[in-house]
Amino acid sequence: MTTTEAPATRKLAYVSAINEALAQLMRSDPNIFIAGEDVGLYGSVFGVTRGLMKEFGENRVVDTPIAESGIMGLGLGAAATGLRPVIDIMFMDFIGVCMDEVVNQIAKMKYMFGGKATLPITIHTMAGGGMAMAAQHSQSLEAWFCHVPGLKVVMPSGPYEAKGLMIAAVRDDNPVIVVNTKTLLGMQAEVPEDMYEIPLGKAHVVRPGSNFTIIATGRMVGESLKAAEELAADGLDVEVIDPRTLQPFDTETCVASVRKTHRALIAHEAVRFGGIGAEIAAQIQEEAFDFLDMPVGRVGAPFAPVPFSPVLEKQYIPDAARVVAEVRRLLGRA
């Protein structure tokens, strides 16, 4: 079954939703394989691939050396020659080690070969802080890859999205980066047992509203829903939009919302300066400037590395309280 909003019948954890998606994909297509550090015997550091080596064998769930450039090169070559690799980079920060393969090879090969090269490669990785893993294991770098033509970028906000976007990503004939959030892995939500795809490039209005729009990514979708409930006491009927796919971005849905509500704020966990929120804000002012009653607001992390100290990290990472405070500041109610 392929559907955009399939009927849900049971609750599943975010990490289990990813695992189920991978298992179902591999059963349906023998050309799909997974490669990465500790994805086999260990089941990945976060448990995403647990049990898959036992079912599919070590030729389809490949434990690799600690060599991100080599892992990504393996995926590049496999995709170019007819397979559908899922390359697991356990922390998003580590993609910095293999940026040449991702940005200069994978993203560009289709164009440099006149469209004759097909690159159905999925890069799966984990982003975000909140687990006291310090500055080299806690970044949200999705905006980097949204800037590169040839790459698609998705960012699930919950278990339903994690499964549906993973299936869509692996089935896509283009390179797709799936950015999951570590602190969401235990989150439970209704997820259908059947395979389903969430279309890439289509946003989801999570909470309809009439007089304020919040566009949030990843973990900040849940935080923005909490903020919307609190802001209801201020007389605000907040609409919350989850883009789901950051590249290509569904500008139409977001602009239509702002034309209705006349106010907008973008919330993401990544550093505020130069984050995807800046691009979304620019698109809103280009397409809906005459409808805005105030400047577009943004909530993001400070311009600093993620602290190791749990106390400092809690202050660093954006949350519902910060969204509420910024909305009230924009409205002159702070």
Catalytic residues: 68, 137
The radius of gyration of the chain's CA atoms, rounded to the nearest angstrom, is 20
Chain centre distance of CA 275:
13
Q: What angle do helix axes 14-28 and 159-171 make, rounded to 10 degrees? A: 30
Chain centre distance of CA 96:
17
> Residue 248: is the preceding peptide bond cis (ω within 30°)?
yes
- Backbone φ and ψ for 79, nearest 5 degrees, come out as -65, -40
- Backbone φ and ψ for 201, nearest 5 degrees, come out as 90, 10
Closest Cα partner for 284 from 269, 274, 295? 295
C-alpha to C-alpha distance for 114 and 96, rounded to whole angstroms? 28
In this structure, are residues 238 and 264 in contact, taking their beta carbons and an 8 Å threshold? no
- Backbone φ and ψ for 69, nearest 5 degrees, come out as -65, -40
C-alpha to C-alpha distance for 271 and 257, rounded to whole angstroms? 25
9 three-class SS: coil
